[in-house]
């Protein structure tokens, strides 16, 4: 017989625990560099102006109701999502090789992909999933929950605070045939380190040679560089190379729709497949999985994104909003690096401006991180990752001086 007595205590989620500690802190100078959510220059959440406009349009629509969406979600949203991630003129879209389902943001898309692969990918054969070391910690939990075993590939070079490209390639070269390789499409979380386009080409070559399966996680398209095509380059290159692959897409960061849970999962079948038949079969199985997991996805966030993505004027305005967010973050990177260099803070700080996207892997040790929390009320994860969006013109001096003190 079962008694709830047997249930052990689980550890608190480190990131959400950090947020709670920050909220409890009453110091007026406290700085939150933990959670990966955009903040404006006054450390406030930012509702994108284009999202406000879309909201207005939706609220004034007399036909809007609260009916269920279809199992695969809002069709206007999923088709616009395909174009966004693959490019409007993608051959994969033209050849009808893409199956897409709206999901519970990026997390739900990673989960649906993992669940699908656990059921249909090389059943009864070895199928190891490879994550970058380090990666977004939820990857481990999501794939473990569907009983897929995982390993990691080297990614971050502690010496250079850049990419350990040789380690990465070497591990891919030695991975068992058919292994699933989870790749961050851009703005790698937590390191902010991305391969160059030349390095991506090399990665694609080895993945093809070794018959590995690419699983792209894209949570920062447009948010990283301010340029949707540039941030989408790696995925589009892989599709061009004829890979069969999957993509988990999040709209949390690039639309600021965090809590609305708008995302999309895409399965791209290979150009040599009988596209119509394979795509339809994949779609039918994904629909069954979706039905049993969430029945159908939430409507509001997808309606907002769809309104913007399908209207050229609003789309252009969204791109301007993206440039504003990414531009502010890039400006903070430059300011932080130059302040640390001015202070003569021991170490090198070029990695702050070399890295891209929401996060910087500072190289601060766990001890220094805890000292910053205790002495200066600055909150970041223990691995020394900072959310760049938490920095602004009001707190950057304070932060740089505190880092300088903690490092000495």
Alpha-carbon gap, residue 402 to 397, rounded angstroms: 8
Q: Residue 7: exposed, middle, or buried by beta-carbon count in 10 A (0-12, 13-18, 19+)?
A: exposed
**Shortest reach from residue 261's CB to ligand PLP, in Å:** 7
**Shortest reach from residue 106's CB to ligand PLP, in Å:** 3
State phi, psi for 246 to the nearest 5 degrees: -125, 155
Among 78, 81, 105, 279, binds ligand PLP (CB under 6 A): 105
30, 32, 46, 136: the active-site residue: 136
Q: Helix 138-145 to helix 105-120 angle, to the nearest 10 degrees?
A: 40
State phi, psi for 275 to the nearest 5 degrees: -50, -50
Binding piece for ligand PLP, criterion CB under 6 A, among 104-112, 285-293, 333-341, 378-386: 104-112
Residue 100 in the binding site for ligand PLP (CB under 6 A) = no
Among 73, 106, 195, 384, binds ligand PLP (CB under 6 A): 106
Is 253 a residue of the active site?
yes
Beta carbon nearer to ligand PLP, 345 or 381: 381
> Of 66, 88, 46, which Cα lies nearest the Cα of 228?
88
Residue 249 in the binding site for ligand PLP (CB under 6 A) = no
32, 194, 217, 231: the active-site residue: 217
Residue 107 in the binding site for ligand PLP (CB under 6 A) = yes
List C-alpha distances in Å: 144 to 148, 210, 218, 359, 398: 6, 24, 20, 25, 41
Residue 81 in the binding site for ligand PLP (CB under 6 A) = no
Residue 250 in the binding site for ligand PLP (CB under 6 A) = yes
Alpha-carbon gap, residue 68 to 71, rounded angstroms: 9
List C-alpha distances in Å: 334 to 162, 327, 342: 17, 11, 12
Binding piece for ligand PLP, criterion CB under 6 A, among 71-79, 103-111, 159-167, 280-288: 103-111
Alpha-carbon gap, residue 310 to 50, rounded angstroms: 13
**Which residue has its beta carbon closest to ligand PLP?**
106
Q: Helix 75-86 to helix 233-240 angle, to the nearest 10 degrees?
A: 90
Is 318 a residue of the active site?
no
Letters for 17-56 (x = contact with ligand PLP by CB under 6 A, - = none) are -------------------x--------------------
253, 318, 339, 349: the active-site residue: 253
Q: Binding residues for ligand PLP, per CB under 6 A?
A: 36, 105-107, 136, 184, 189, 217, 219, 250, 252, 258, 263
Catalytic residue set: 136, 217, 253
């Amino acid at each position: 017989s079962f008694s709830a007595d047997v249930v052990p205590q689980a550890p608190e989620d480190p990131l959400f625990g950090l947020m709670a500690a920050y909220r409890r802190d009453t110091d007026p100078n406290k700085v939150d560099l933990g959670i990966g959510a955009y903040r404006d220059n006054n450390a406030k959440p930012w509702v994108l102006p284009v999202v406000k406009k879309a909201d207005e349009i939706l609220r004034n629509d007399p036909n809007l109701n609260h009916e269920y969406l279809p199992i695969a979600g809002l069709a206007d949203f999923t088709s616009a999502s395909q174009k966004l991630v693959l490019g409007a003129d993608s051959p994969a879209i033209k050849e009808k090789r893409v199956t897409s389902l709206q999901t519970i943001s990026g997390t739900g898309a990673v989960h649906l992909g993992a669940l699908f692969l656990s059921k249909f990918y090389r059943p009864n054969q070895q199928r190891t999933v490879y994550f970058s070391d380090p990666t977004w910690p939820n990857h481990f939990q999501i794939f473990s929950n569907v009983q897929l075993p995982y390993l990691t590939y080297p990614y971050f070079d502690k010496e250079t605070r850049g990419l350990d490209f040789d380690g990465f390639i070497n591990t891919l070269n030695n991975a068992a045939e058919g292994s699933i390789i989870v790749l961050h499409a851009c703005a790698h979380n937590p390191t902010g380190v991305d391969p160059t386009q030349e390095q991506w080409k090399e990665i694609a070559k080895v993945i093809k040679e070794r018959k590995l399966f690419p699983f792209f996680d894209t949570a920062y398209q447009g948010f990283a560089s301010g340029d949707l095509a540039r941030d989408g380059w790696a995925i589009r290159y892989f599709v061009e190379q004829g890979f069969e692959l999957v993509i988990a897409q999040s709209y949390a960061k690039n639309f600021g729709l965090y809590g609305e849970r708008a995302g999309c999962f895409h399965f791209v079948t290979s150009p040599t497949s009988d596209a119509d038949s394979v795509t339809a079969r994949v779609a039918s199985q994904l629909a069954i999985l979706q039905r049993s997991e969430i029945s159908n996805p939430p409507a509001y966030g997808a309606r907002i994104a769809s309104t913007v993505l399908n209207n050229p004027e609003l789309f252009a305005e969204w791109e301007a909003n993206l440039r504003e967010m990414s531009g502010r973050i890039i400006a903070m990177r430059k300011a932080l690096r130059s302040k640390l260099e001015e202070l003569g803070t021991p170490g090198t700080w070029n990695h702050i401006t070399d890295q891209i996207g929401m996060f910087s892997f500072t190289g601060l040790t766990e001890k220094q991180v805890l000292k910053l929390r205790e002495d200066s009320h600055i909150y970041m994860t223990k691995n020394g990752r900072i959310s760049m969006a938490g920095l602004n013109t009001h707190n950057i001096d304070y932060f740089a001086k505190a880092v300088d003190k903690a490092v000495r």
